[in-house]
Structure 1
């Protein structure tokens, strides 16, 4: 076993005593660990750093990506929720396979464990980690941006008993805003994906506001601010094409539930 705490302490230098693919296989296994120090503090931090620095060859990244796509069906929540973080890192450096998208979509909209932080398992963050990947995929030319927008609103409107509490709504709002910066989006694309939210917010149940409605409203409010102010991606602030249309649609949707708000 490699001393990964030492690797991290020494600036993430690649150990010279073992092949890189063997090191990656060990780190990948550690990503399933219920120990947050092992999973988050060591495996994720080392892998994400190596991917960002270009340490791993494209073919090895594709193999790792395939493995992460398979993790969306893992029985362990921490294994499922750290898979999108690694895929996000891989796609962010320009390695992408279309076969990774459907498993992610199926998992993201169906995941039932929405805890942000757990006292025993540490950060899980299914919504936030999935949002990071969604926002990155939303900017990949080979991915249809409307597909990601619909995925985001579908995730929000999926019935749940859990009210988001660890800034997941902001992370998903940012992902949607980043996707909306795509220059190839046409006018109908930037607003039609919000229609399901308009219907849901306009037909509240008689027994009170459901958690998914609260989550949706908070996320759309964050999205409104980003659309209005611009979306920082890296060191550049991007404006949303058809900005006025998007703002008007968001205001219309939010007004159905809170007419006093906008």
Structure 2
């Protein structure tokens, strides 16, 4: 049995005596663990580091990506929510399969356990982890950016009992802003994805402000700040501007005005 704590302590060096494929399979299995030390500190950190360092071949990365897709149907919440993190790492290093996108989209909107942190399971972070992959896909030339923008607003507007509390709104707001930096977006593309929020907020529920309204407004406020000031995309050191920043800010203001007219 590999001592994964020692692997971390030795700068994530690949242990000797076992094939890399066997080690990766073990790490993949550990990503389902309910123990946050096993899953997050060991399995995720080691696997993500090896992916980033280019230790896995393209074929090995595709096989791992396919395995992560199956996790979206896993009965364990921690297995589902760590799948997009590994897919994000894989796509970031240049391996992408179009067939990975639809299963991710279906899971992201449908996931009903939006807990950020659980005392026993540790970090779950379905919204934040999904946002990381959404933002990476939103910047990928083979993915339609509008598709990711619509996915983001769809996730936010889906009814939920959870008010996000662990900076998920920042992660998703950044992912949406990164997607909006795509040069191939038209003016309509950059703004019309917000129309579902306008329609929903124009007819408020009788019970008052629901969690999904709170989650949406907080996330879109993050987006407004990034649209106004710019953001760092990927590993860039300079700020990148959203090409339609003024149009986006105006449309966001239309959304905010429906919920908070007293300060607009």
Q: Same fold (TM over 0.5)?
A: yes
1:27 aligns with 2:27: yes
**How many residues align structurally?**
262
Which residue is 1:122 aligned to? 122
Which residue is 1:141 aligned to? 141
Once the two structures are TM-superposed, the CA of residue 19 in structure 1 deviates from its matched residue by: 1.0
Once the two structures are TM-superposed, the CA of residue 58 in structure 1 deviates from its matched residue by: 0.9
Once the two structures are TM-superposed, the CA of residue 200 in structure 1 deviates from its matched residue by: 1.3
Which residue is 1:38 aligned to? 38
Unaligned runs of 5+ in 2: none
Structural RMSD (CA): 0.7
Which residue is 2:255 aligned to? 253
Which residue is 1:182 aligned to? 182
Mean Cα deviation higher: 234-243 or 46-55: 234-243
SS at match of 1:238: coil
Aligned CA distance change for structure 1 residues 49 and 67 (closer, same or farther; 3 Å): same
Q: What are the equivalent positions in structure 2 for 1:51-90 lying under 5 Å apart?
A: 51-90=51-90
Q: What are the equivalent positions in structure 2 for 1:187-198 lying under 5 Å apart?
A: 187-198=187-198
Once the two structures are TM-superposed, the CA of residue 160 in structure 1 deviates from its matched residue by: 0.7
SS at match of 1:185: coil
Once the two structures are TM-superposed, the CA of residue 201 in structure 1 deviates from its matched residue by: 1.5
Once the two structures are TM-superposed, the CA of residue 261 in structure 1 deviates from its matched residue by: 3.0
Which residue is 2:239 aligned to? 237
- Distance (Å, rounded) in 2 between the aligned partners of 1:230 and 1:116: 27
Unaligned runs of 5+ in 1: none
